Chains A and B, each alone.
Chain A
Amino acid sequence: MGERLFGKPDGGSGGASRTRTGGAPDQNRSDEIGGGASGATQGRTGGASGVLDETRSETAPRGPAGATAAPERAEAPRKAHEGRDRAEGAPASAATATRSGILGFLTATRGRGRMDWTDWVSYAYLTFGIFLMFGPVVWLVLSSFKDQNELDRFPPRFLPYAQETMVVDGFDDPLPIFVVTEGELEGQRVGQTRRAAGRAEVVTQDDPDNRIRLTTDQITPVEGVAFATENYTQLFERFNFMQFFWNSTFITLMSTAIMLLVNSMAAFALSKYQFRGRTSVLLIVIGTLMIPQTVVLVPLFLIVTEMGMFNSLWGVIIPGAATPTGVFLLRQYMITIPDEILDAARMDKASEWKIFWRIIVPLSAPAIAVLAILAIMWRWNDFLWPLIVLTRTENFTLQLALNSFQGELQTDWPSLLAMTVLTLLPIASVFMFLQRYIATGIASTGGK
C-alpha cells in the first residue's frame, strides 16, 4: 500500500529543481521521508510533509509524484490564486474587501488587505504563546545564574543581581559596597568590613584606616546585574557531573548506533528481497510497535538481570535499541531506491553485504539521519527504564541525577537549576539547527 502511494522521491522532473536549489537536494529528500515514511501512520505523514516543506513548494516545481499529491493539491490552488491576485491587481483587492471577518479568521491568505481584528487576535494568541512556551525556559536560565542569596530572595527579581565589591588598601578580600543613607556620610559609597548585631563597620576608599561604625539601617547595599557562574562550577567540583554526562552520552550514542545498524539491516531485507514469510515479519514488527516498554517492565527487568546487565549501562542501551519505528521509516525510503542499481552491483559480483553497506546505506543517508536525530532525543530523554535498571549513583544518567537531587529533603536549587540548563542545552542546540528535520521525523513516526 505504501509503495504505490508514495512512489519514488523526485521523479524525472525533480532534477530541474535540484540543480536550481543548489545545496538543498538533501533537504528535499529528507522531506520525502516524512512523506513516504511509515506504513502505520500514512494518513498523517502525507499531510505532514506538506506543512514542513514550505521552502520546497516555493522553490521547486515538482512533477505529479504519486503520493505527495495530497499536500501539493492543497498548495497548488492557493499558489494559483495568489498569482492571479497579483496579476489582476485591482479586481482582486475588491474581492478581498468582501471577505467577512470570521471567514477571514479561518481562511485568510497572506498579504491580502489590511490587518483586521482577527489578525490582531491571532497575533495576540501567538505572542502569548511565545511568552508561555519560552518564558519558563528563559526564567530557568536566568535563575541558574543567580547566587544563593538572590535565589532565596522573595519576591524574585528578573535579572540576576549581586552586591558590588571594591578593593580597599589594607584588606585582602574585596569589600561589599554599601551606600550610606543617613548621617554625615550620606550618599557616600563605603566598603563594609564587619557586621554584627545590627551594627556595621565600614571604611571609605580614600581613608582605609578610619573604621567608621554605623547601624545597619543606615546603609543599603549597592547591587549590579551579575551573572554568577558558581552554580555551574560547583556542579563539577561538588558533584560527579561529568560522570552523569558521560553516562547519558554513552547510552545515547551506543543505543542509537545499534538501533540504526540493526534497523537498517532489517529494512533492507524487508524492502529489497522477495522471500517467504516477509509479510509475517512485517506483522511482527507492527506487533512490536503495539508493546510499549511501560507494560512489560517486570519481565524486561528479569531478562536484563539474567543477562547480567542490571546496574550496567548496557541494560539501558540494548533494550533501548530494540525500537521498531526505524524499520518502517527506513523501509519506506529504501523501497524507492531503484532495483536496477542493485542488479548492476550484482553483475559486478558485489556481495549482498557490500550492496547493503556501499549502496543502500549511503543512498538512505537522509532517512538514517532523521532517524538518528529522533533516536538521540528519545534516548537522551529516557527516564522510566533507566530509573529501574540504574540504581547506583555512579551509573545515573543526567535525567536520573536531576530527579534524585530534587528528591532529597532539602532541594539544592542552585545546583539543580544549573544542571537542568546543562541537560537541556544539547537538545535545545540540536533543535535550533535541525528543527525542520525533527519536526518532519516526529510527525511521520508518531512520537516514539
Chain B
Amino acid sequence: MLTILNPLMRIVEIPMLALQRLLGINRLAWAFLLPNLVLFGLFAFLPVILNVFYATTGSDNVLLEARPYIGARNFESLTDCGNYLDANTCREDKFWRAVFNTIWFVTLQVGIMVGFALLTAVILNRDIRARGFFRSVFFFPVLLSPVVVALIWKWILQREGVLNAFLDWTGAGGINWLVDAGWAFGWSVFISVWAHMGFYTLILLAGLQAIPRDVYEAAEMDGASAWRTFRRITLPLLSPTMLVVLVLALIKGVQTFDEIYAFTGGGPGTATTFIIQYIYERGFAGAPRLFGLAAAASLLVAGVLVLLTLAQLWANRRNVDG
C-alpha cells in the first residue's frame, strides 16, 4: 500500500521542502495542518455560521443571495403555540410532535438501554466461560448499518412475519405491529436499544474492570451483603463511567434518524417522527423546501447538543480526576 503511494509522496515532498526552507521547521506545522483546517472550516465551521444566516432568512431558494432577511420569524413560527403541551395548537405542529416524540423516545431508549447495558456488563464481568465470545455477541449489532437493522426487524415484524406466526401458534393472534402507533413507537425504542446497547456495555464493562478487586475483598471481610456491596461499592465507583455513558447515549439519542426512518418512515402518521427527520423533511424531502425552518430547528437541536457535549467534557474531567 505504502509503496504504491511512494512516488506520489515524493512529488508532494518538493513543494513541502520549498515551504520548509521558506518557513522554517516549526512554522511548517501549519502546512501540515492546512488541509485539515480547510476541511473543518468548509464543512464544519462555515456551516455553523451559515446555519444562523439560513435561520434568519426566508424563501425556498438555497442560494444565499436569493434569501431575504426575515429576522426571528422562523423561530416564531416554530414556537407559535396556543398551548405548549398540546402539539395540535401549534402552527408548526409537526415540529412539536417531533420534539415530544424525541423527548419520549430518548427518555425510554436511554433508560432501558443503559439499564440493560449495566446488567449485561455486570454479568460479563463475572468470571464466566467464553467471555470474549459473549462480549462480541452483544457487540455485534453495533456494527450493522442502521438500514440493515431496520430491515432485519421489519422482516420479523411484518404482518405475515415470524413473530406473528409465533403468536398465532401460541393462540395470541397476530398484530399489525408497524401500523399501530403505540407498537411502532415501542418497537422503534426496541430496535434502537438492540442496535446500540453493545457499545455502552463495552464502556461499562471497562469501568467495572477498573474497580480494584481488594475493595470487594474488604467488603466481604466485613460481611457486607451482596446487594449492599453492589449499591455501596460497585455503583458509586462506577458512577463516573455511568455519567459518561448517559451523556453519550443522550447525545446519540437526540440525533436518532437513520434506523427509525428506514424502519417506519416516521409513521404511522407522525408517531415515530423525530426531530432530525423533521429537519430532513422540511429542508430536503418536501416541497416547498423550507430551509429557514429546517435551519432554525437545527440551531435549537445544536443548542441542546452543545449543552450535552459540555456535560460530557465535564463528566470526562470528573472521571479522570477521580
A positions within 8 Å CB-CB of B: 1, 5, 40-44, 46-52, 54, 70-71, 73-75, 77-78, 81, 99-112, 118-119, 122-123, 125-126, 129-130, 132-134, 136-137, 139-140, 143, 152, 154-156, 261-263, 265-266, 268-270, 273-275, 278, 281, 284-285, 287-292, 294-303, 305, 318-319, 321-322, 324, 327, 346, 351-354, 356-357, 361-362, 377, 380-381, 383-384, 387-388, 399, 402-403, 406-407, 413, 416-417, 420, 423-424, 427-428, 430-431, 435, 438-439, 442-443, 446-447
Q: Contact partner of B42 among A109, A125, A322, CB < 8 A? A: A322
Residue pairs across A and B with Cβ atoms less than 8 A apart, 6 shown, are A102-B226, A106-B234, A265-B33, A295-B298, A403-B147, A417-B155
Q: Contacts A47-B241, A71-B210: A284 and B145 contacting too (C-beta < 8 A)?
A: no
Determine whether the beta carbon of A352 is less than 8 Å from that of B294. no
B172 on interface, CB distance cutoff 8 Å: no
A residues less than 8 Å from B173 (CB atoms):
none
Q: Contacts A292-B255, A424-B148: A403 and B137 contacting too (C-beta < 8 A)?
A: no
Determine whether the beta carbon of A352 is less than 8 Å from that of B35. no
B81 on interface, CB distance cutoff 8 Å: no
B184 on interface, CB distance cutoff 8 Å: no
Distance A352 CA – B45 CA, assembled complex (angstroms)? 29
Q: Contact partner of B134 among A119, A126, A140, CB < 8 A? A: A126
In which size bucket is the chain B interface? Answer: 35 or more
Determine whether the beta carbon of A431 is less than 8 Å from that of B143. yes
Determine whether the beta carbon of B62 is less than 8 Å from that of A302. yes
B202 on interface, CB distance cutoff 8 Å: yes
A residues less than 8 Å from B143 (CB atoms):
377, 427-428, 430-431, 438
Q: Contacts A302-B62, A406-B151, A439-B139: A296 and B44 contacting too (C-beta < 8 A)?
A: yes
B171 on interface, CB distance cutoff 8 Å: no
Q: Is the interface of B mostly helix, strand, loop or mixed?
A: helix
Determine whether the beta carbon of A406 is less than 8 Å from that of B262. yes
Q: Contact partner of B127 among A111, A266, A302, A388, CB < 8 A? A: A111
Q: Contacts A51-B202, A352-B25: A322 and B210 contacting too (C-beta < 8 A)?
A: no
Distance A353 CA – B15 CA, assembled complex (angstroms)? 10
A residues less than 8 Å from B265 (CB atoms):
407
Q: Which residue in chain B gives the minimum CB-CB distance to A78?
A: B213
Distance A305 CA – B141 CA, assembled complex (angstroms)? 34
B residues less than 8 Å from A40 (CB atoms):
312-313, 316
Determine whether the beta carbon of A43 is less than 8 Å from that of B316. yes
Q: Which residue in chain A gives the minimum CB-CB distance to B51?
A: A299
Q: Which residue in chain B gives the minimum CB-CB distance to A357?
A: B9
Contact residues of B between 91 and 130, Cβ < 8 Å to A: 119-120, 122-123, 126-129
- Beyond A71-B206, A291-B48: 20 further Cβ-contacts under 8 Å? A42-B319, A102-B226, A106-B122, A110-B129, A119-B128, A126-B128, A263-B36, A265-B32, A287-B45, A294-B298, A318-B39, A318-B43, A353-B17, A357-B9, A383-B261, A388-B284, A416-B151, A423-B148, A443-B202, A443-B206
Determine whether the beta carbon of A270 is less than 8 Å from that of B39. no
Determine whether the beta carbon of B145 is less than 8 Å from that of A266. no
Determine whether the beta carbon of A383 is less than 8 Å from that of B13. no
B residues less than 8 Å from A274 (CB atoms):
26
Determine whether the beta carbon of B194 is less than 8 Å from that of A132. yes
Residue-wise interface mask of B (181-215) relative to A, using a CB-CB cutoff of 8 A (1 in contact, 0 not): 00000000000001000110011011101111110
B179 on interface, CB distance cutoff 8 Å: no
